[in-house]
Amino acid sequence: MTLHQKIKFLENVLNQPETNYSDIFKADISMFFDEDFSIQNTQFEFLKPLESEEQIQDFIDNLLSHFVLKFDSQSETESDFIHYYLNPN
């Protein structure tokens, strides 16, 4: 998959209708990217090692799960939480 294809797939995943509690955080993820799903947005570097739609879906599912289990709105913002998840180093 090209980076452009990965970004478009990610955008489609984040725009799917909410079906469970964790899906409410999809809007926060979209806002983290400034709703700019273009290849010029350098925040999509984390997609480069992911090789398939399944890997991207798994990555987003894991991020959403972390939101539900670990996000503490009293000590961090949604944007900070996403940033630290995407850039663990």
Identify the domain containing residue 75 by its residue range.
Answer: 3-86
CA–CA separation, 80 vs 54, rounded Å? Answer: 26
CA–CA separation, 58 vs 46, rounded Å? Answer: 13
Structural domain count, the chain: 1
CA–CA separation, 36 vs 34, rounded Å? Answer: 5
Query: Taking the model in full, what pTM does it have?
Result: 0.88
Give tens-digit pLDDT for 51-89.
999 999 999 999 999 998 999 989 999 999 999 998 877
SS3 45: helix
Q: What angle do CA 83, 67, 47 make, to 5 degrees?
A: 45
CB 24 within 8 A of CB 74: no
Give tens-digit pLDDT for 7-20.
999 999 999 998 89
